Each structure stands twice: as C-alpha cells, then as structure tokens.
Amino acid sequence: METFYETPEFFQNVLFTDESTFRKDGIINRYNRRYYRQENPHWLGEKQYQGGWSVNVWGGLLDDQVVGPYFFNEPLTANRYLHFLREVLPLLLENVNLEVRGRMWFQQDGAPVHNTNDVTNFLRQTYGNRFIGNKGTAWYENQIDGEGPILWPPRSPDLSPLDYFFWGLVKDRVYATPCNTKEEMKNRIREAFASVTVEMLRNTQNNFIKRANICLAAEGGIFEHMLK
C-alpha cells in the first residue's frame, strides 16, 4: 500500500461511509456519540421515545462529492447491508467518474453487520485490498496474498469526516424545526445532503489530513485534546 506521506492525495480516493439514525424527537448534536477511550467502554445511552419513530440513513463522502442518501426502511441486518452493497451502491455511484470508481477505496466502521463473512467476502471480491474497516470475525479469512483489509481504528469518530462534520451539519438542518412525518424528515435529509458544497468538502478533506497527522503524532492514541 502506498503510504500517506508518499501520496497525500490518497484520501481523495476513499469513499467514507456511515449510517445514522434520525429520531422524531431528535436533539441537535454537532456530532454522533463519541467515546474517548483506549478500550471499548460498552457504553449505552438511555432515552425514552414514547410514540416515536426514526429514520435510518446511509451516507458517503468521496472527494468533493456527497453520495446518497439511502434510507433503510427496516432495521439494518447483514443481509440488507449486503443487498445495499450489491444492488444500491452501484446506482448511487453512477455520477462518479469511472476512472475514480476504478481506484476507489471503500471505508466502513466496525458495526457488526459490516463484519459478517458474506459482507467481507463481497468487499474482498469487489475491491480486493482496497477496503478499510475494523477487524471483524471474518477478517482473518479474507486475506489476499498475505494481506487483509486496511484496518480502521475502532471508536475513532475524530477520524471520520461523517462523524466530525457531516452528520452534525445534516442534523442541525433537519432538526431546525420539528418534523411531523417520516417523509418530511426524509425530504429534509435529502435537502441537507444536497446543500453540502464542494468548498465544504474540500475544507473537510484538508481537516482530515490534519487529523491524520495528529493521530500519527499521537502514535494512534487519543488525540481529541490536541485538536484546535
């Protein structure tokens, strides 16, 4: 793999992906929940949602393009995620230049549905070693020429542009006033996705490179306190 210092433009070729839940009675949060711990804190938050509903949405960022949104109308399972990767993602990427798609890396976080054998096998067959994720149960079985997927550090929202920028912006706009129906919320999410400018994404990319350098300086440790 080419190193970060050899090709600093490498991250322009990474499709950063994530899912987020938008609840009827959502609270405006700049970020998703964040865990600054070396070990998994197994943390759970509790909140009452009487008579509530929610919308689950997938989004992606690739260089200066926003990919999505795509709405999961049922709880996300490994089979539904695999269907999304096979059937839906190629359609969402139709506006991406073929040359870019040919060298694109696929990044995902460590959600359990991302790490099943079927999903990991599909990613290996589709992207070779050009995918980035956590070390799930299937990781060791998906080696190619002695190498596996590039590991994405767990519990690392400070490195995910969707966490430290995108979802916060979208939720701020969606929750500006109450949403009365799911369809109204979906329309607001679509509008928020469409409102993201190339300049915003360029700034986010520059910020990502800064964060990656700080993470390297911290030797992979917690670096939230080093951000200014």
Burial 125-154 (b: 16+ CB within 10 A, else e): eeeebbbbbbebebeeebeeeeebbeebee
Q: 20: which strand partners?
A: 57
Q: Judge if pTM exceeds 0.85.
A: no
Q: 104 pLDDT exceeds 50?
A: yes
**13-47 per-position pLDDT tens digit:** 999 999 999 999 875 443 444 433 445 544 344 44
Closest CA to 160 of 88, 104, 83, 224: 224
Pairwise CA distance, residues 136 & 70, whole Å: 24
Q: 50 pLDDT exceeds 70?
A: no
Q: Which domains are seen in the chain, by residue range?
A: 12-26+51-226 (3.30.420.10)
Q: What is the mean pLDDT of the chain?
A: 80
- Contact between residue 141 and residue 117 where contact means Cβ atoms under 8 Å apart: yes
Q: What pLDDT does residue 212 have?
A: 74
Check residue 107 and report its DSSP letter: E
**77-101 per-position pLDDT tens digit:** 999 999 999 999 999 999 999 999 9
Q: What pLDDT does residue 211 have?
A: 74
Q: What pLDDT does residue 221 have?
A: 63
